[in-house]
Structure 1
Amino acid sequence: MSAGSVATEPVLTEVVDGVLVVTINRPEARNAINTSTAEAMGAAMDRLDSDPSLTAGIITGAGGTFCAGMDLKAFLAGERPSIPGRGFAGIVEQPSAKPLIAAIEGYALAGGFEIALACDMIVAAEDVKLGLPEVKRGLVAAGGGLMRLPQRVPYHLAMEWALTGAMITAEQAHQVSLVNRLTPKGGALEAALELGRAIAANGPLAVRASKQVIVEAPEWGRAEMFDKQREITLPVRESEDAREGATAFKEKRAPAGRGAERSERSGGTFPG
């Protein structure tokens, strides 16, 4: 593919050390989401879910900004920036089953913030601005932001941000643990890659199952929660990955194979 054709792709993907880096590539439109971008993002999520060599994903934006939300010009022209099954931007209703990190520079507003909230971790440059300004336009943030934000920050703060449409600084978001890591301007992707590599160094089956438990556990009743957890974790415990991980721990060596469990190897006992 020529350099000119690559530049026109709405979403770019690159594999780095077992991490799929997904870049929204519409800088001329502040990476706003139209139909083709949503379709490409959905395809990237499908790839991440189906490729056993990939353990985690990063969502970022080209040109120094993350995403300004829905492309209003495309919307007024009749486009719908969502796809069946995955929703807006190909991600907000069904993110990848594998861990996702948002690497944010510039702005993540409206649907752009909702994409970030669909991720499991957020790394942001210190000058980043976040927010759900829909109410200022007489609209409702219906891409998951109103449901996910109260799960990530205190209830009263989520209400204030959602009902005022306030612009949130990266520092404010970091103070309430909405942002995992703050970086200097231009450093979000590299810091996200550092975090992604740390995840990808672990057993892929264990990583995926751990995310599933964390995501699904709030919906489980007290009487059933350990049975539900066992359904997810027992296949991992009985896998070749787990056996190799335990053996490698005992022999004080790195586990062999892509899917091997990793653990601390400096003394102690292997966690059961």
Structure 2
Amino acid sequence: MGGTEHLDIQREGATLVLTLNRPEAKNALSLPMLVGLYDGWVEADADDSIRSVVFTGAGDSFCAGMDLKALAGKGTGGERYRDRLTADPDLHWKAMLRHYRPRKPVIAAVEGYCVAGGTEMLQGTDIRVAGESATFGLFEVKRGLFPIGGSTVRLQRQIPRTHALEMLLTGRPYTAREAADIGLVGHVVPDGTALDKALEIAELVNGCGPLAVEAVKASVYETAEMTETDGLAAELKRGWPIFDTADAKEGARAFAEKRSPDYKRM
């Protein structure tokens, strides 16, 4: 199992836990962190025994955004990762889930600051849990910058446009309760328990048929911008083959026999 000095990768059963690990800098993005993140997403998709991913941050923050010095590989031990970025100039966007969508469900567990690049990465996750004291926001315009991690495209598709524009154009912070009210996060839990709740949700996902879960996730994103007619046709194309799998038959047998199913990804 990989990871870097700024990104921890651990297994919790069938869940891969990716932890931003630069707490002294509120987990601001660094080159070692981005390399580790990208490798984590790839590992999750390549290993069929992994059924879900939990994405979180060490210490009292999720991610406070970019650290331009660290992203250049200066002063944080990142120099030895420069060849990775040279070989794949798109690596940082893939790590931040701008140009990469894992096929496994990704559940975010947020404590503390999740701002700027943190809020941008959040939009690449599927299910989101926040501690009560978490803070969200896209602060770029306050600094004369542009939130180029995908927020001007994705945010309006995930929350009502009026809320998306307010967040984008004011650069103000949002509390966890506000984030839940506008639909940016799905759960607000007591501080210090976001990871526990995320792992609890992951266990529910892990208990379902993996082929079905991955097909459902793919269908949701694939059809998001289609017309209803085209979307329904695409859903049938992706969904019908699931009924012919051994896992689908196992699910029916397990239900009839009142036991937990033993899915084999077949």
1:104-146 per-position Cα deviation (integer Å, ceiling 9, x unaligned): 0110111111111110111000001000000011110010122
Query: 3-state DSSP class of the match of 1:87?
Result: helix
**Aligned match for 2:32, one of 24, 30, 36:** 36
- Equivalence for 2:170: 164
Distance 1:11 1:72 in 2: 17
- Equivalence for 2:77: none
The amino acid of 1:160's aligned partner reads E
Distance 2:233 2:190 in 1: 44
The CA RMSD measured in Å over matched residues stands at: 2.3
Distance 2:229 2:159 in 1: 28
1:200-245 per-position Cα deviation (integer Å, ceiling 9, x unaligned): 1101111111111111112333443333122222232111100111
1:74-97 per-position Cα deviation (integer Å, ceiling 9, x unaligned): 246687799526716342221311
- Number of residues paired by the alignment? 255
- Equivalence for 2:142: 136
For residue 251 of structure 1, report the CA deviation from its aligned partner.
2.4
The amino acid of 1:40's aligned partner reads G
TM score, norm. by length of structure 1: 0.86
- Equivalence for 1:145: 151
Change (3 A) 1:117 1:182: same
Structure 1 unmatched runs, 5+: 261-272
- Equivalence for 1:13: 9
Distance 2:157 2:93 in 1: 20
The amino acid of 1:196's aligned partner reads A
1:29-87 per-position Cα deviation (integer Å, ceiling 9, x unaligned): 21111222111101100011111111111110011110011112224668779952671
CA contact (8 A) 1:18 1:54 kept: yes
- Equivalence for 2:79: none
The amino acid of 1:168's aligned partner reads Y
| Percent of residue pairs identical | 38
Structure 2 unmatched runs, 5+: 75-81
Distance 2:156 2:100 in 1: 18
Distance 1:118 1:212 in 2: 13
Change (3 A) 1:76 1:57: closer
Change (3 A) 1:202 1:88: closer
The amino acid of 1:57's aligned partner reads V
- Equivalence for 1:237: 243
- Equivalence for 2:260: 254
Distance 1:77 1:48 in 2: 25
Q: Is the deviation greater in 187-196 or in 92-101?
A: 92-101
Q: Report whether the alignment pairs 1:200 with 2:196.
A: no
Distance 1:67 1:189 in 2: 15
**Aligned match for 1:211, one of 204, 209, 217:** 217
Query: 3-state DSSP class of the match of 1:173?
Result: helix
- Equivalence for 1:48: 44
**Aligned match for 1:58, one of 50, 54, 60:** 54
Q: Report whether the alignment pairs 1:220 with 2:216.
A: no
Query: 3-state DSSP class of the match of 2:123?
Result: helix
- Equivalence for 2:130: 124
TM score, norm. by length of structure 2: 0.88
For residue 12 of structure 1, report the CA deviation from its aligned partner.
0.7
- Equivalence for 1:267: none
Distance 2:17 2:184 in 1: 21
Distance 2:89 2:72 in 1: 17
For residue 256 of structure 1, report the CA deviation from its aligned partner.
2.2
